[in-house]
Amino acid sequence: MTYEIIFPLRGNIVEVQLSGKLTFEMFRDLHAELYFGGQWRTGMNLLAIIEADADPLGIDAHALRTSFREEIERLAEIRGPEFKVAWVVENPTYEPLLQQWKSMPFIVGRYDIEVFRDREQGRAWLEEFSALWPEFELNPGNRSA
């Protein structure tokens, strides 16, 4: 599998680690598990890490404008109006793809995205919006792969 989802025991930052070949189909499966697997709560934010060995070259501008656009619209309500994503790209070669995604007209204003090259910087940005509400306390065994 090319992703791992790590839900927090407390707080609202969910971490997703992406490796291997990244495709729209993989993201669709990830979204099904992430948002509809029972642990996601509206108000959570996402720390998405594209690891150095990941290969996002299967995702092109056409896929971003079509399939991914439909996916964004489908997930808007469950994500909530204040949804934020810190994308961390460990291989700087792939940063332009994320910057292109961030500037897509159907993304601008839908939710906040920032792109980082360091995990801790991405997490620090999300912690500015952190919540430690009791409804974000989850049961142990919160890892999913």
Q: Mean pLDDT across the chain, nearest whole number? A: 82
Domains, the chain, in order of start with CATH, read 3-135 (3.30.750)
Give percent of the chain with pLDDT exceeding 70: 81
Rounded CA separation 8/66 (Å): 32
pLDDT at residue 142, as a whole number: 47
pLDDT at residue 136, as a whole number: 54
Quote helix, strand, coil % in the chain, to nearest 5.
Answer: 40, 20, 40
Rounded CA separation 39/35 (Å): 8
Q: List, for residues 107-136, the tens digit of each pLDDT value.
A: 667 778 899 999 999 999 999 887 655 555
What is the model's pTM? 0.82
> How many Cβ atoms from other residues are within 10 Å of residue 60's Cβ?
12
- Residues 16-42, mean pLDDT to the nearest whole number: 90
